[in-house]
Amino acid sequence: MSAALFESIPLRGLDAASAERVRAGGQVRSLEPAEVLYRVGEDADALFVVVRGRLQEDSGGRVRVLGAGETAGAEAMLGLPRRAEVRADGPAEVCEVSAALLERAWTRAGGRLAMQHERRRLERSALDDALRSTEGLADLDEAARGILLDGASLQSWTPGATLQHAGDAAADALMVLDGVVHAIDEDGTVAHVALRGDLLGVDAARAEGRWTRTLVAAGHVRTVAIPGAVLRRVVASTPARTEARDAARGDIIALLRAGAAELPDLDRLERARSLLVLDEDRCVRCGHCTWSCAATHGGEPRMARVGPRVTARMGGEDARSAPWRLAQACQHCSAPACLGECPTAAISRDAAGTVLIDPSLCTGCGACAKACPWDAIEMSPRPEGVAMPLGDSPFPLLASKCDLCAGGAGPACVQACPTDAIARVQPGRDFVEVSALLGTRARPAAARGPRWGGWVATVLASVALLLGAWGAAQHQHGWIAGAGPGWVAGVLGACAVVLSAAHGVRKRLLGRWRRWTGPMRPWVLGHAVLGSVALAGAWAHTGGHAQGRPAVLAGAFIGCVGLGLLGVFAYAVLPAVLTRLEAGEVSARPLEDQLLQDVGGRAEALKQLAAKVLVPYARQRGGGLLLLLSGRSLAQEQAVVLARLQDRLGADRLARIEGVEGVVRTVVAIRAARVRPWVHRLLRLWLAPHIVLAVVAIALLGLHVVTGGA
Amino acid sequence: MRRWRGLGWLCAALLILVVSAAWLLRSDAPSRHGITGSHAAAGLACGDCHRAPTQTPDCGTCHGAHPSTRTGHGRARASGAMTCTSCHRVHHDVGGVTFSAAGATRFGPGGSVSVPTAASPEVRGTVAVVPLDACAACHDPSADDDPIARCRLAGDMNGCFDEHRRVAGATLGTVTGAQDRLILWTHAREVVARRPEPPTRALSGVDGFAIAVSLAVFVGLLVWSFSGAEPAKRPVATVNVQPPKIRRLPQIDASTCLGCSACVDACPYDVLALDRYVAKVARPEDCCGLTTCAQLCPNGSLVVLDGAPIEDRPGVHATLESVDVPGMFLAGDLTGMPLIRNAINQGAVAVREASVGLTPGRADLDLVIVGAGPAGLSAAMEAKARGLNFVVVEQGTLAASIQSFPRGKLVFDQPLHVPLVGALWLAEATKEELLRQWTRLARQHALPIRTEHRVTSIDPVAEGFAVAAVSADGTVAHWQAQRVVLAIGRRGSPRELDVAIPAPMEPHVHHSLADARSFAGRACVVVGLGDVAMEAALALSYAPQTSVTVVARGDDFRRGKARNIESMRRAQAQGRLSIRWSRSVQAVRAGEVQLDDGSCVPADSVFVMIGSIAPWSFLASVGVRRVGPAPAVVERPRG
């Protein structure tokens, strides 16, 4: 980067440290004639200073030519998407400077007035767009719009900030530009949520009234404040009531929540571009996703299978509603909080929106990890060979997070899932409910691959087993093991055994020293089908009775395949059972502690109820098994327990005891927690004997082949 | 305990046992239905005898038909109760002696061995030796009057030379030539006497290998299933509990500071702040002198340097015993060494040292621990572990200082590398988790903690110390103990208003605010304008139907967090609260507070939040002095 560049308007007057960081974090790009630098609507993280040649900025027909030293793309400073299309006017060279870095540099240098005019122009244009698409403000005339734009101001809020307290005078109405706002009732419950484009407090601001609910930012929020006086001048009447929409929203949120205690994290669902979700009804909790992630990233996994749960349909209106666990992994936000916090611009986005960390720029300060609301960034030891930025930096940490397995054939976690339960989705597009909530367009096709694999495998396995049974019956009609079709069946079975074992060898042995790519699911299905073929072959080979050493082989073999089929059954049935027994959030807090906290400081009646009825219920011998067999989910069980309490105490008396619901929730959770490990064990238990028997069977098979059938 | 790898691998190990048992017990295994001895040598397979599953094998095809002619045997045969294999158990233990040109051979299920014999080479033929237990199905081999007594082998030899025909009869079908059976038998007896047991069949190489492998795999799996990573042991190292003697302060190179806020977030006492993306030392007086901030600075812009000596601390020996009062030990923040972790260590070390040289039964108690913060709790846990007779006296509640931390605050742990004694720590815990853990430990170990008891005096007596404390309801408690551990921290007690409080107002004068909503509908007066006072005033102003008046000594906001000041200004503009500048409280009466300008403010509750009095006066009263000159009373804002 030339020294002359630092004389351009945006970069002039920076202090030495800032200039050094801009130099390190920026890059010079050469453009071909007419090459497009960016288009309208793209993400904007950087602005461009023209080094050589000229650029043409086309904002909806208004064309501006930018010469050397001029700046394009300042909307990045406001966190807005591109508002114009810029292309090279002849060969050109531009310098790309991270907006977050520049913002820091300016602040350090003591603020910057030179860009204020440009800022204001962009802000106004963005506000204009936002107002045009807002219900009730869309059809204003130009004069009214001008007044509105002059009066309105942009505000931003950090997560958890209180926008307005209930009871405060409503001087301004608020329009949500970005993010999610919770309107909270006096008792602390979220009465409704406001999303992008919603107007809040118009009535109150017009009438100089007060806020009736406290508004809290659920994440990073930007709002436009429109003073009441301006509203009174330009808006003749209150915009159409939004109550119907609020009710519809409430319904959708209830669907997403599906009886869980916590509210779905709408902010997360809105921002996520590539959210890692696990279908809990299919997820067999095997951990392949995390292992493969760790294997891909030098032993440090960049995802964890924990997080809240939402219930949603993916892939169209007719799709099955499934409980999705939102895993802890980078979701490549549309407005990443980490990106703006990085002091050296080590975090950037590629054209597809994937958020990436450049290890050569990362100082390991951890600002991004703290900024991420979902803890998706982990500070891990800096691997050998990754240079320290800033020369002799003594800091041995490096920020690491999901990079969607850059350079691989897709994310390893998704590839490695044996049951196809895991997917990377954009909730606003792939989840029907979320897209309805956000008003975005749902994508009818599923984000996941074809779902017919399981059915094909089942049919193939069944056909193989039927053929095997037929072959076994033929032994009554002259088939023998040692020759003819019986012998051929045996050889076929042996081949199937060997091929089937390839899955295990690939996974357990080769996987240790070589990373395998490609989806796991076909291998698993193939393994199951080949196992069935092997069993069928053996059946047709022996005719159902073997003696001596072959009998032992047959026994080991049947045990191995039987355990495998048991595993298939467990994988098909148990995940849904587990899901039923799990609360929405996987919580690490000991439940007994939770119970004490639930009853602590409450009325004596609640303590008595807990001690005499609810704790014995929680600790009842075999209670977990009863819950498992009843087939009820935790929410349903809570309802049943509450109904039983009501029968016992009477509805009036129960209603007078405060905090019963919390205690019931906890005792039901305790009861479920006692049986859940056993379901987990059932999911795992078959595997080790299956592997050991497979090894035994293959060894005996080798012997059987070598000794020619003895 | 080692980690257990799981039931699955244990099941796999057991399965290996099952498989190897199946292998050993299979149909051709030597010990059961295998084809033995001469049959195997003749290359016979199962199907050669067992033509059909239900058919009795016909031995006569090869051996010639020569059924036993004894009357009893004949009857049994006729009834079907006896076949050839009743005596000649071909799959089990068939054996005998064969005479051939090469000499005598003793054969059995496991093969044959040559046995020296006196018989001439012309003696040819085979004599089957039937084990006595084969006869035992019908006969009693031990009875002398049983018919088989005559044909039993001599002595204890386990065998029977029964004959199929009487001795006077013809030769056996397999005996060639003219040798008499008697000669054959005589030599056979001699051979059997030399080699009583027939060769039993040894396990084949394959069997041995299979069994060895399966045993090895079984043991391996068993070890594997029970072995796992040993959980990391907590390093027990000598811990440094010596308070620093020199104040240390961070120095920041503004030209290289990245503005990443790593140091700001690391500081447990909010000493550092970020200003225009450059870190600065905002509250140097609160610096604890540890290097967490410097350790987390990614590019070395921040270093912690030594400054002036610290004089604001009591003198202690290396054992944490007070220099001034023998038998009194100090621990925790009080010693001038900050951080919860250090307090925990000091509490444990103080009790360890205090328990040295105790005389059993000299006083009611071995130990009185004053204060139930991190140091006091740790001391109590250590005392409990050492089986001391002790009591913990606390003026407020359990870990009151930690409870005043902001909600959800991460109580800092690494990367300080401070080794730890005691069980009080949780890695990376938030304040709530830590408090829960401590409450649980106190409950579990039934620690004798007297909360709401303020210690008024500690006097040296012959037995050690006499400790007096007054409880919240005014009753006075006394203890006598040989040693005292002071873990009272540096917060001291809240500063009181310098006016008399009438009795009806006493329950309505507070120094802290736990739950603003419980003051709904009340008129509240907050005295003070520090952060604690501002936060309380704001919380009260948002409770339903409260009226809040703040009485401030100054004429404007002078110190405090910018966020609090901004919120206060907003609340004032909104009319949520009113601030009476440059005023102080003249008198408190039932239902109102009179200010120094004579005006009265209605007051149902009064919050006095004008800082706290450091515990120096109390320390001085028990005889503990500071190491250097410093003002007699140090005022510190609370919080």
On the question of pLDDT at A585 being above 60, the answer is no
Where does the pLDDT of residue B349 fall: very low under 50, low under 70, confident under 90, or very high at 90 and above? confident
The helix-helix angle for A484-504 and A521-542 (nearest 10°) equals: 150
Residues 6+ apart with CB under 8 A from B556: B581
Residue that has been written with the tokens 């050998």 in this structure: A384
| For residues A637-645, average pLDDT | 91
What distance in Å separates residue B554's CA from the closest CA in chain A? Answer: 27
Nearest-CA residue of chain A relative to B29?
Answer: A548
Query: Which chain A residues touch B12 with a CB distance below 8 Å?
Result: 688-689, 691-693
pLDDT at position A516 is 60
Q: Distance of alpha carbon B228 from its chain centroid, rounded?
A: 14
Nearest-CA residue of chain B relative to A186?
Answer: B544
DSSP code per residue over B332-345? GGGGT--SHHHHHH
DSSP code per residue over A26-54? -EEEEE-TT-EEE-TT----EEEEEEEEE
Tally Cβ neighbours within 10 Å of residue A237. 8
Token duo for residue A588: 């690490």
Q: Do the beta carbons of residue A59 and residue A84 sit within 8 Å? A: yes
Per DSSP, what are the bridge partners of residue B455?
A: B469
Tally Cβ neighbours within 10 Å of residue A281. 18
B8 vs A696: CB contact, 8 Å cut-off? no
Q: B496: closest CA among B338, B591, B612, B397?
A: B612
pLDDT at position B26 is 66
Residue that has been written with the tokens 């503004």 in this structure: B254
Q: Check residues B151 and A58 and name the one with the higher pLDDT.
A: A58
A552 vs B26: CB contact, 8 Å cut-off? yes
How much is the pTM? 0.74
Q: A550: closest CA among A703, A681, A439, A331?
A: A703
pLDDT at position A19 is 85
Where does the pLDDT of residue B175 fall: very low under 50, low under 70, confident under 90, or very high at 90 and above? very low
Token duo for residue B313: 């601390």
CA distance A196 to A216: 14
Where does the pLDDT of residue B631 fall: very low under 50, low under 70, confident under 90, or very high at 90 and above? very low
Q: What is the pLDDT of residues B398-433, one digit of tens each?
A: 877 676 654 444 454 443 444 455 556 655 566 677
Q: Do the beta carbons of residue B478 and residue B494 sit within 8 Å? A: no
CA distance B104 to B182: 16
Q: Do the beta carbons of residue B549 and residue B525 sit within 8 Å? A: yes
pLDDT at position B429 is 61
Mutate one of B10, B19, B303 to test the A interface: name it (highest A CB count within 10 A). Answer: B19
At residue A262, what are phi and psi to the nearest 5 degrees?
-95, 155
Cα distances (Å, whole numbers) of residue A201 to A64, A207, A225, A241, B179: 39, 10, 10, 12, 127
CA distance A303 to A307: 11
pLDDT at position B632 is 40
CA distance B229 to B577: 60
On the question of pLDDT at A511 being above 70, the answer is no
What distance in Å separates residue B328's CA from the closest CA in chain A? Answer: 36
Cα distances (Å, whole numbers) of residue B178 to A688, B173, B183, B345: 68, 12, 11, 104
Q: What is the pLDDT of residues A547-570, one digit of tens each?
A: 667 788 888 888 899 999 899 999
CA distance A234 to A137: 9
Q: Check residues A493 and B531 and name the one with the higher pLDDT.
A: A493
Q: A181: closest CA among A222, A209, A149, A144?
A: A222
Q: What is the pLDDT of residues A646-695, one digit of tens each?
A: 998 888 888 888 888 888 988 888 888 888 888 888 888 898 889 988 98
Is the preceding peptide bond at B637 cis, omega within 30 degrees of 0?
Answer: no
Three-class DSSP category at A250:
helix
Q: What is the pLDDT of residues A346-386, one digit of tens each?
A: 999 888 889 999 988 888 888 899 889 898 998 888 877 77
Q: Widest CA span of chain B, in angstroms?
A: 150
pLDDT at position B203 is 62
CA distance A422 to A448: 9
Of A16, A169, A363, the CB nearest to B574: A169
| For residues A276-292, average pLDDT | 90
Q: A645: closest CA among A670, A620, A663, A633?
A: A663
Q: Distance of alpha carbon A515 from its chain centroid, rounded?
A: 24
pLDDT at position B117 is 83
pLDDT at position A416 is 87
Residues of B with CB under 8 A from a CB of A: 6-9, 11-13, 15-16, 19, 22-23, 26-28, 46, 206, 214, 217, 221, 255-262, 265, 276-278, 296-300, 436, 440, 542, 544, 574, 576
A685 vs B440: CB contact, 8 Å cut-off? no
Nearest-CA residue of chain B relative to A170?
Answer: B574
Q: Cα(first)–Cα(last) distance of chain B, in Å?
A: 42
B440 vs A363: CB contact, 8 Å cut-off? no
Where does the pLDDT of residue A144 fall: very low under 50, low under 70, confident under 90, or very high at 90 and above? confident
On the question of pLDDT at A332 being above 90, the answer is yes
Three-class DSSP category at A431:
strand
pLDDT at position A286 is 87
As a whole number, the mean pLDDT across chain B is 78
Q: Which of A29-38, A514-523, B297-306, B576-585 has the lowest mean pLDDT?
A: A514-523
Q: Do the beta carbons of residue A394 and residue A378 sit within 8 Å? A: no
pLDDT at position B413 is 44
Q: What is the pLDDT of residues B264-323, one digit of tens each?
A: 887 877 788 888 888 998 888 777 777 778 888 888 888 888 877 777 788 888 888 888
Where does the pLDDT of residue B537 fall: very low under 50, low under 70, confident under 90, or very high at 90 and above? very high
Tally Cβ neighbours within 10 Å of residue A486. 20
Q: What is the pLDDT of residues B68-79, one digit of tens each?
A: 777 788 888 888
Q: Do the beta carbons of residue A541 and residue A709 sit within 8 Å? A: no
On the question of pLDDT at A594 being above 80, the answer is no
On the question of pLDDT at B527 being above 90, the answer is yes
Token duo for residue A653: 């008396």
Percent pLDDT > 70 in chain B is: 80
CA distance B612 to B492: 6
Residues 6+ apart with CB under 8 A from A567: A686, A687, A690
pLDDT at position A114 is 65
On the question of pLDDT at B231 being above 60, the answer is no
Mutate one of A21, A112, A165 to test the B interface: name it (highest B CB count within 10 A). Answer: A165
Q: Which of A468-482, A485-499, B421-435 has the lowest mean pLDDT?
A: B421-435
What distance in Å separates residue B71's CA from the closest CA in chain A? Answer: 39
CA distance A595 to A676: 19
Cα distances (Å, whole numbers) of residue B607 to A287, B319, B430, B578, B600: 55, 41, 28, 15, 16
- Residue B631 zone, left/alpha/beta (φ > 0; ψ -120 to 50; rest): beta
What distance in Å separates residue B331's CA from the closest CA in chain A? Answer: 30
Nearest-CA residue of chain B relative to A111?
Answer: B276
Q: Do the beta carbons of residue A236 and residue A388 sit within 8 Å? A: no
B278 vs A168: CB contact, 8 Å cut-off? no
Q: What is the pLDDT of residues B429-486, one digit of tens each?
A: 666 777 777 888 888 888 899 888 888 889 988 888 999 998 877 789 999 999 999 9
Q: Cα(first)–Cα(last) distance of chain A, in Å?
A: 79
At residue B100, what are phi and psi to the nearest 5 degrees?
-140, -175
On the question of pLDDT at B564 being above 90, the answer is no
pLDDT at position A92 is 93
Residue that has been written with the tokens 């930007």 in this structure: A222
pLDDT at position B156 is 55
